[in-house]
Chain A
Amino acid sequence: MEEKDLLLLRLLEENSRLSPGELGIMAELSEEDVKCRIAALEEAGIIRSYTTTIDWERAANGGVAAIIDLKVNPERDYGYDRIAGRLAQFREVRSLRLMTGVYDLQLHVTGKTMQDVARFVSEYIAPMDRIRETATHIIMKTYKENGQEFSEKEAGERVPYSL
């Protein structure tokens, strides 16, 4: 991938609110060029959405999140893709990945309460054809998300001047 495109992606991943004008200054490109490049990146499905990292625990919204590991029997011709496609339809499933290791699919699931999450797994996920086993891990505390640390750290003291 072209170096300037890569830089734009990094800058946007960190802060999707940067304007084309600001991005242009930062990346040494014209505003028009930035707009074109971003449009192309969106068109190519590389930029998927412009989102916000939220510390929901701090928002005290009472929600619960869990990582759910699944063992799945893959299908002839389709592998894991069709079952993954079905799982992805659930609004509760925030992210879904195929993994190496003991389990095959990994879901990040959110719900209002622990019971919600448990019910979702036992009523919808576990009974699905081809799913052999589930392991549900409730997230207790998030320390870092999307590259952002959630705890406020005291920055080391810097001197005001050095030559």
Chain B
Amino acid sequence: MRDFVSSRARIIPPSGIRKFFDLALTMEEVISLGVGEPDFATPWNICEASIYSIEQGGTSYTPNRGIKPLRDAVSNWLTGHYGVRYNPDTEMVITTGVSEGLDIAIRAVVDPGDEVIVAEPSYVSYAPCVTLAGGVPVPLECLEKDHFRLMPDRLMEAISAKTKALIINFPNNPTGAVMRREDLLAITDIVIDHDLLLISDEVYSELTYSGTHVSPASLEGMQERTLMLNGFSKAYAMTGWRIGYLCAPEPICDAALKIHQYVMLCAPSMGQVAALEAMRRGEEEKDRMVQEYRVRRNLFVEGLNRIGLRCHRPEGAFYAFPSVAETGLSDLEFAERLLKDEHVAVVPGSVLGMGGKDHLRCAYAVSREDLAEAIRRMERFMGSNSC
């Protein structure tokens, strides 16, 4: 029989943590710092709104673009929070999580052979989505010495005649790095000069601990060349609801909407109702959760540095990205042995692209008690491995 798997499907890499995943499932009392999702349940008013709508029979398809009240609410929210104006009827699509938004955004703009620069270390979907669209992902390493921000000189080196777009994600998964206005301006100048698109995944935007998030589309000359992705998963503890949104200039948004209507039809209706409630009355609960993440970050990063895992203080998202360079173990060895010996699950940085090597991604979206216990176990691990 022929090998029926497509070359595109074959070429995308398998998950780098499959074996860790399987191993963790066989263990008891695992403290997982490996999950990129809030440990909080979705705020109850949001659940209630959705339950009520289901009781009222709200279980049908919605318009492809998403329900109008949600688009209006998101549009107003974006203007109020980030100073960007998107027409909810022509420049926005409600998507099934940011994951789908990313896919349709990339497919809407990438032609075979187009190069797309991906700032790394990063969430693992960017490069495969580019590959599946026929494009060529070009990894660009962000460095620890730059606090994992994207630097203009490094971007310049990655640009070629074939470059079409740049994908960034700040606040960043896995480093917690944040780009301030001046950091972004240095990048957007280059994007404009080279006539590129910017695909900006801002799903952690509300988890910005010092200052406020700057959305690249709010910078002069950028809205017309920015595809902004955001969603409800992280800020409102709504990962399972699968609701995100894509905002883009009308022609690009139209193209993405076409793909969306063929492959997804619409985002889940009950999730859209929940997201609407999050927009209307979710702010206070969100702020409370963000404050708690910040407290946890402070405790956890202090703990990491105290036990000898060097870690700068991340300014956003809910990840710490300590270095294991001085332990004599690679990040893969460290993560595997830590899981086996002490039942603490962390993600080895190597699987998160260039620049991830010798680091661990630790999600501190777990209770303070579990964080303290994780630090104790990691300290014991370091001692018994004479790190």
Interface residues of A (CB under 8 A from B): 7, 10-11, 22, 25-28, 156, 158-163
- Check B347–A26 contact: CB distance below 8 A: no
Please, which residue of chain B has its CB at the minimum distance from the CB of A10? B291
Would you give the shortest CB distance from B362 to chain A, in whole angstroms? 12
| Interface size range on B against A | 20 to 34
**Segment of B19-27, B55-63, B379-387 engaged in the interface with chain A:** B19-27
Interface residues of B (CB under 8 A from A): 15, 17, 20-21, 24-25, 30, 32, 34-37, 39, 41, 123-125, 291, 295, 298-299, 302, 345, 347, 351-352
Distance of A163 Cα from B347 Cα, bound (Å): 8
- Check B39–A158 contact: CB distance below 8 A: yes
Contacts of B124 in A (CB 8 A): 163
Please, which residue of chain B has its CB at the minimum distance from the CB of A160? B24
13 extra interface residue pairs, beta carbon distance < 8 Å, beyond A25-B302, A27-B295: A11-B295, A26-B295, A26-B298, A26-B299, A156-B41, A158-B32, A158-B35, A158-B39, A160-B34, A160-B345, A163-B36, A163-B125, A163-B351
Residue from A10, A28, A161, A163 within 8 A of B32 (CB atoms): A161
Which applies to chain B's interface (DSSP): helix, strand, loop or mixed?
Answer: mixed
Please, which residue of chain B has its CB at the minimum distance from the CB of A7? B291
Would you give the shortest CB distance from A43 to chain B, in whole angstroms? 25
Given contacts A25-B302, A156-B41, contact A161 B17 (CB under 8 A): yes
Contacts of B24 in A (CB 8 A): 160-161
Contacts of A11 in B (CB 8 A): 295
What are 21 A-B pairs at a CB distance below 8 A? A7-B295, A11-B295, A26-B295, A26-B298, A156-B41, A158-B32, A158-B35, A159-B21, A160-B20, A160-B21, A160-B35, A160-B345, A161-B17, A161-B24, A161-B34, A161-B35, A162-B34, A162-B35, A163-B17, A163-B124, A163-B347
- Check A163–B298 contact: CB distance below 8 A: no
Would you give the shortest CB distance from A38 to chain B, in whole angstroms? 16
Contacts of A7 in B (CB 8 A): 291, 295
Residue from A27, A28, A156, A161 within 8 A of B20 (CB atoms): A161
Max count, chain B CB within 10 A of own CB: residue among A22, A28, A161, A162? A161
Would you give the shortest CB distance from A28 to chain B, in whole angstroms? 6
- Check A160–B25 contact: CB distance below 8 A: yes
Would you give the shortest CB distance from B310 to chain A, in whole angstroms? 17
- Check A163–B299 contact: CB distance below 8 A: no
Contacts of A22 in B (CB 8 A): 299
Distance of A114 Cα from B25 Cα, bound (Å): 50
- Check A160–B36 contact: CB distance below 8 A: no
Distance of A26 Cα from B35 Cα, bound (Å): 22
Contacts of A25 in B (CB 8 A): 298-299, 302
Distance of A22 Cα from B345 Cα, bound (Å): 25
Would you give the shortest CB distance from A127 to chain B, in whole angstroms? 44
Max count, chain A CB within 10 A of own CB: residue among B25, B34, B36, B299? B34
Would you give the shortest CB distance from B240 to chain A, in whole angstroms? 9
Contacts of A163 in B (CB 8 A): 15, 17, 36, 123-125, 347, 351-352
Would you give the shortest CB distance from B175 to chain A, in whole angstroms? 14
Max count, chain B CB within 10 A of own CB: residue among A28, A156, A162, A163? A163
Max count, chain B CB within 10 A of own CB: residue among A22, A26, A158, A160? A160
Distance of A163 Cα from B41 Cα, bound (Å): 19
Contacts of B41 in A (CB 8 A): 156
Contacts of A26 in B (CB 8 A): 295, 298-299
Would you give the shortest CB distance from A1 to chain B, in whole angstroms? 15
Q: Would you list the 9 A-B pairs with minimal beta carbon distance, nearest first? A: A160-B24, A161-B34, A26-B295, A163-B124, A160-B32, A25-B302, A162-B36, A161-B21, A162-B35
Distance of A98 Cα from B256 Cα, bound (Å): 58
- Check A161–B37 contact: CB distance below 8 A: no
Contacts of A159 in B (CB 8 A): 21, 35
Contacts of A161 in B (CB 8 A): 17, 20-21, 24, 32, 34-35, 345, 347
Please, which residue of chain B has its CB at the minimum distance from the CB of A6? B291
Contacts of B35 in A (CB 8 A): 158-162
Distance of A7 Cα from B295 Cα, bound (Å): 9
Distance of A156 Cα from B38 Cα, bound (Å): 12
Contacts of A28 in B (CB 8 A): 298
Distance of A92 Cα from B243 Cα, bound (Å): 51
Please, which residue of chain A has its CB at the minimum distance from the CB of B17? A161
Would you give the shortest CB distance from B118 to chain A, in whole angstroms? 14
Please, which residue of chain A has its CB at the minimum distance from the CB of B239? A162
Please, which residue of chain A has its CB at the minimum distance from the CB of B209? A28
Contacts of A160 in B (CB 8 A): 20-21, 24-25, 30, 32, 34-35, 345
Distance of A59 Cα from B130 Cα, bound (Å): 60
- Check B37–A158 contact: CB distance below 8 A: yes
Would you give the shortest CB distance from B372 to chain A, in whole angstroms? 10
Distance of A7 Cα from B34 Cα, bound (Å): 28
Max count, chain B CB within 10 A of own CB: residue among A7, A25, A156, A162? A162
